[in-house]
Amino acid sequence: MDEPKSPPVASINSPQVGGPPVNLPIALPAKPFVVPQSPTHPPLPSPVKSDLLPRSSIRTMESDIKSAQTGQLSKGIEVKTPSFSAEPPQPVTPPKPPVFVPVPPVGVKLGEAEKRTAPLPGQEKLVPKLEPKLPETKVGLGVIEKKPISPLALPKPPVPPVKSSGIFVPTKPSIFANKRVTAIVAVGILVVLGGVLYWYLGNPPTDGPEKVVSPTPTPAVSVTPPDFGTEKPASTLSGIFGTFYHLAISAISESQPDPLADFKFEAVDLSNTHSSEQNIVATILKGSSGVYYKFSEFLDRFSIGFPINLVSFVDNNDFALILTKQTEFFDQGGKLIVSPSAKNLLTPKIALAVRVVDATEAGNQLTFWEDTMIDSFREFYDLPPQYGDLHFSDNSYQGVPIRFVNFPFPDNAIDYAIVTAKNGNDYLVIANSREQMYSIIDKLLGF
C-alpha cells in the first residue's frame, strides 16, 4: 500500500509559495549559565629598585693600588643618607572637656498609664517589606511566571506590662512594725504603771504623824581575846628558838606617860618568869588588839631613827625581840666584876632581830647608819653621855663579822651583825652587849 503523503512543510526561512510572507516568532537564544568566580586580589606591586640600596662589589688591594697610581679614590659602598625636615613637631592641644549645663527640674506630673496597642513614641512599627511584582515574560511558545518570594515574618518584641499607677511611692514604715521596739515600749509603760500603783497603794495617806519604827537591837556576842602567852606567830625564828612569847606596848596616856619604861618593866617580868632560858624570843603586840608591830613600826614607836631604804632589804614582818640574861659586868677600871648586883642580874639585855632579804644592800645601809646609830639608840639602851668621837670597830665570832662600839666596856655596847642561821636565812641582829651577841650567834648557828 501506498503511504499517504504528508503535505509539504514549508521552510521557516523560505517564503510561502503563492502568498504573502508570514512573520513567525523567532525564539530568543537562552543565556548561558555563568559560574560565579571568587574575587581576585589585585596584583602586588613589583618592588621598586631604589638607589639607596647598597650595590655589592669586590674590592681588592690591586684595584686600590691602581686607583692610587692614577690619582683616583678607591671605590667603596656609598650610602645615601635620607634628608629629614628640620621643622619641630607642633604641640598637640588637648581637647576641651564638655561643659555640663544643669537642667532645671520641671514639675511634670505623670498621669495614669494607658493600655495601648499602638507603638510607643520613638518606637518604629515593623512593616514587612514587599518585593515589587515582576512582569510576566513570555518565552517562545510558553509563558514563564516569576513570583516574588514573601519575606519571613519577624517576631514582635514583647511589650513590658504596664502598671496601673504611674509612680510607685513606698509606704513609710511604722514604728510599731519592729517587734523589739514594741516590746521595749510595752515594758517601759508597765514599769511606769507599776511604780505609780506602788506609790499610791503602798503608801496610803495618814492623817496623824508618821510612826518611826526603831530597829530591833541585836544582842552583841562577846568574844574572849585569845591567850597570846604561848602562841607562835608566823616567824622563821620559831624553828630555831622554839617557844615565842609576847609583850604588849600600851598607848601613851596620862596614867602611863613613859611607854619605854613600861615596856622595859614588862621585859624584866617576862625574863624572870622564864629564868631557866638563856634567850627568850618575844614579839611585840599593839596593846590588846592582837596585831604585831613590824620592824619599822617598832623603831618609830620608840623614836629610833634609821635609814628609810633599809626597810627595802629586810622582811619587815619577820621581826622579833630577843631577851638575854647578862652575867658579864665590868667596873669603872675595866675589871670583871665577880659578884654582880641582883639588879644587874635581873635586868635582861634586849636585842632586835629581823630577817634580811638582800645582805649586800642591807650591809651598805648599816654602814651608812653608823653615823647616827649611837644617838638613835641612846635612850632605848640607856647609853652614857658621849665624850669625844666614838667609831665602830671590827670583831669576829664563829666566823661571823661583827661591828661594835663600847660605852666604854663590852657589857654596855652596840653590836650588830648579819648572821646566816642554820635554816638558811640571814638575820640582822642589833644587841646591847658582847655577851648577848655571842649567845645569839651560837643559837642561830645551832651550837
pLDDT tens, residue order, the chain (447 aa): 444 455 544 444 444 444 455 555 555 555 555 555 555 555 555 554 545 555 556 777 887 788 777 877 666 555 566 565 556 666 667 667 766 666 666 555 555 555 566 666 666 555 555 555 555 555 444 444 555 555 555 556 666 555 555 555 555 555 555 677 788 888 888 888 887 777 666 655 555 445 444 444 343 333 333 343 334 445 678 778 877 888 888 765 555 667 788 888 888 888 888 877 888 888 888 877 778 899 999 999 999 999 999 999 999 999 999 999 999 999 999 999 999 998 888 899 999 999 999 999 999 999 999 999 999 999 999 998 876 788 999 999 999 999 999 999 999 999 999 999 999 999 999 999 999 999 999 999 988
Phi-psi group of 381: left, alpha or beta (phi > 0 → left; psi -120 to 50 → alpha; rest → beta): alpha
Residue 447, CB-side half-sphere exposure with 13 Å CA sphere: 8
Residue 422 included in any domain: yes
Residue 413 included in any domain: yes
Q: Are 429 and 416 in contact (CB under 8 A)?
A: yes
Q: Are 320 and 444 in contact (CB under 8 A)?
A: no
The three three-digit cell numbers of residue 20, written as one number: 504573502
Separation between Cα atoms, residue 73 and residue 79, nearest integer Å: 16
Residue 294 included in any domain: yes
Strand partners, 285: 248, 292
The three three-digit cell numbers of residue 248, written as one number: 604588849
Residue 96, CB-side half-sphere exposure with 13 Å CA sphere: 3
Pairing type for strands 413-420 and 314-324 reads: unpaired
Residue 125 included in any domain: no
Residue 249: which of 296, 283, 295, 226 has the closest Cα?
283
The DSSP element (H or E) to which 425 belongs, if any, is none
Given this model, what pLDDT does residue 11 score?
46
Given this model, what pLDDT does residue 177 score?
55
Strand partners, 144: 137
Number of domains in the chain: 1
Residue 93 included in any domain: no
Separation between Cα atoms, residue 85 and residue 271, nearest integer Å: 128
Given this model, what pLDDT does residue 152 score?
54
Q: Going by C-beta distance under 8 Å and a sequence separation of 6 or more, which residues neighbour residue 162?
A: 113, 114, 115
Q: What is the extent of the structural domain holding 375?
A: 238-445
Cis bond before residue 408 (omega within 30° of 0):
yes
Q: Are 404 and 415 in contact (CB under 8 A)?
A: yes
Separation between Cα atoms, residue 255 and residue 62, nearest integer Å: 148
Q: Going by C-beta distance under 8 Å and a sequence separation of 6 or more, which residues neighbour residue 260?
A: 302, 379, 380
C-alpha separations of 191 from 194, 195, 311 in Å = 5, 6, 60
The three three-digit cell numbers of residue 15, written as one number: 517564503
The three three-digit cell numbers of residue 270, written as one number: 617576862
Separation between Cα atoms, residue 67 and residue 73, nearest integer Å: 6
Residue 246 included in any domain: yes
CA torsion sign for 221, 227, 232, 234 is positive
* pTM of the complete model: 0.49
Given this model, what pLDDT does residue 308 score?
93
* Residue type, position 397, single letter: Y
Separation between Cα atoms, residue 37 and residue 45, nearest integer Å: 23
Separation between Cα atoms, residue 228 and residue 294, nearest integer Å: 17
How many residues in the chain?
447
The three three-digit cell numbers of residue 54, written as one number: 647598597
Residue 374 included in any domain: yes
Separation between Cα atoms, residue 388 and residue 367, nearest integer Å: 20
Residue 91 included in any domain: no
